[in-house]
Copies of this chain bind each other. A is one copy, B any other.
């Protein structure tokens, strides 16, 4: 069973990496980019009996800094189920 965890900065938290990418895209001549935010994607390959609740605990304890970051757990679409 594959699960994806998205870890993103909470709204309002400054994202210097996203700002740098935004600036670089402008510099390369790409137009129409209004905002860029960078997050992490954690792809977990799990034995079948791991619940979303357990994955939530992994996020709270290790994968995300819940002071400044949100996390979201999703099934991997298409493959791997």
Contacts and interface: CB of A to CB of B under 8 A. Distances in A.
A39 B32 contact: no
Interface in A49-68: 49-50, 54, 57-58, 61-63
A81 interface: no
Q: Could you say how many copies of this chain the assembly holds?
A: 2
A46 B58 contact: no
A62 B34 CA distance: 17
Interface string A7-42: 110000000001001001100101111111111111
Contact of A45 (B24, B34, B40): B34
Interface of A: 6-8, 18, 21, 24-25, 28, 30-50, 54, 57-58, 61-63
